[in-house]
Amino acid sequence: MTMELSAGAAKRRGAGGWRWAGRIFLVLLLGFTVMPMIWMFITSLKTGFAAMQYPPQWWPAEPTLDNYWRLIDPSGTVGRDFLQYFWNSIWVSTLTTILAVVVAVPAAYAFSRFRFPGRTFLFFAVLLRNMFPAVVFLVPLFILMKALGLVNTHGSLILTYLTFGLPLAIWLLKGFYDNIPVQLEQAARIDGATRFQAFFLIVMPLSTPGIIATSIYSFIGAWNEYIYAYTFLTRHDQMTLPVGIQRFFSENATDWPGLMAATFMMSIPVVVLFLVLQRYFVRALTEGAVKH
């Protein structure tokens, strides 16, 4: 005896099928995305010989943490240098992020709230720098840094990173400010607040998710940057991580486990940053500013 499904039940079953397909797709996508990280971690637990085996060992027969120990042991050359690179990257990325946000916040606010001649042109001109590949600016910026006496200093990197970090920050933040109703500021002004007070007490708190999202973008951009750091810095005590981990490549060989351990450790701050600030990031993408 066959039972006929009602139209609603059939619809629900169909929807359920789509839901499962969607879930399977997401799991596959997750696997595809995370697999390189997992393989990187597994390789970092191998000896140099085990890393070179074929077929590959999906899990090392003799796992070792030596590759990590080498990186964090300050008594060894590798550890000493790696910790220095790590600190340099933290320093440069953090300072770049702070400066980008400090400059971008008022600039974006001005683009959002003020009407002035050439506003639209200027707003698009800000992005002009990001329309060209980094290598186009390499020689001009190097000559500029040389003239400023900044070659082989972190100052050269911070200034350079601001050239591509700032436009993005301004554009992102302007979008957030546009979503904050101007009436909120007007209400504060009626209550006696100055424009600065209205900005700092009303707009800034509401745009916190946006500022954090912008900071993350800015930080990651600086953290991962290679070509300028490679060009402007030659001293080991100045190098950032992306350049520093080149030491795992020799003329005729590569220390794969060491490289993987270094790369895995290099990814930790970014992952932690995302995990800690995830809720702000999501809010920045989804939340409206109007409070009821």
Partner 1 sequence: MHTKTGRRLLGLSMAVLSAATMLTTATTASYAQSVDLSKWSPEYVKSIAGTKKFDAAKDCGAVVPNDYAGSVSYWYTGPFEADPEIAHVQDKAFWEAFHAAYPNIKTDVQSITYNELLDKFRTSLLGNSAPAVIRLQILGGVEFAAKGYLQPLKPEDVGYTAADFWPGALKSVTYEGVSYGLPTNNETMAMIWNAKVFKDAGLDPDNPPATWDDVVAYSKQIHEKLGIPGYGLVAKQNAGNTPFRFMPQMWAYGGGALDEAAAEPTYKTVEINNAGSKAALQAAYQMYAVDKSVPTSALTNTQGENQAPFIAGKLGMMIAHPAEYAKMTDLASKATGSDKAVADEVVANMRYGLLPTGPDGKRAVVFGGSNIHVVKPEFVQGGKVDEQAVKALICFWDSPEWSTKLAWVGSNPGNINGFLTDAMKERLDTIKFLDVTTSMLPNGIPFPVIPQAPEIMNIIVPDMLQNALTGNMTVDQAADDAATKVQAIVDGGGGI
Which chain residues interact with partner 1 by CB under 8 A? 47-54, 61-62, 64, 70, 78, 142-143, 145-146, 151-152, 230-232, 234-236, 246-256, 258-259
User: In three state form, how does the secondary structure of the chain look?
Assistant: CCCCCCHHHHHHHHHHHHHHHHHHHHHHHHHHHHHHHHHHHHHHCCCHHHHCCCCCCCCCCCCCCHHHHHHHCCCCHHHHHHHHHHHHHHHHHHHHHHHHHHHHHHHHHHHHHCCCCCHHHHHHHHHHHHHCCHHHHHHHHHHHHHHHCCCCCHHHHHHHHHHHHHHHHHHHHHHHHHHCCHHHHHHHHHCCCCHHHHHHHHHHHHCHHHHHHHHHHHHHHHHHCCHHHHHHCCCCCCCCHHHHHHHHECCCCECHHHHHHHHHHHHHHHHHHHHHHHHHHHHHHHCCCCCC
Q: How far is the CB of 142 from partner 1 (least distance, A)?
A: 7
In angstroms, the CA 82 to CA 241 distance is 8
* 100 or 262: CB nearest partner 1: 262
In angstroms, the CA 176 to CA 284 distance is 8
Q: How far is the CB of 95 from partner 1 (least distance, A)?
A: 22
* 128 or 253: CB nearest partner 1: 253
* 71 or 108: CB nearest partner 1: 71
Which residue has 């290099």 as its token pair? 266
Q: How far is the CB of 204 from partner 1 (least distance, A)?
A: 41
Measured in Å, how far apart are the chain's first and last C-alpha atoms? Answer: 56
In this structure, how many other beta carbons lie within 10 angstroms of the beta carbon of residue 96?
25
Q: How far is the CB of 247 from partner 1 (least distance, A)?
A: 5
Q: How far is the CB of 248 from partner 1 (least distance, A)?
A: 5
Q: How far is the CB of 215 from partner 1 (least distance, A)?
A: 31
Q: How far is the CB of 80 from partner 1 (least distance, A)?
A: 13
* 22 or 62: CB nearest partner 1: 62
* 120 or 246: CB nearest partner 1: 246
Q: How far is the CB of 263 from partner 1 (least distance, A)?
A: 13
Q: Are 43 and 35 in contact (CB under 8 A)?
A: no
* 145 or 172: CB nearest partner 1: 145
* 137 or 217: CB nearest partner 1: 137
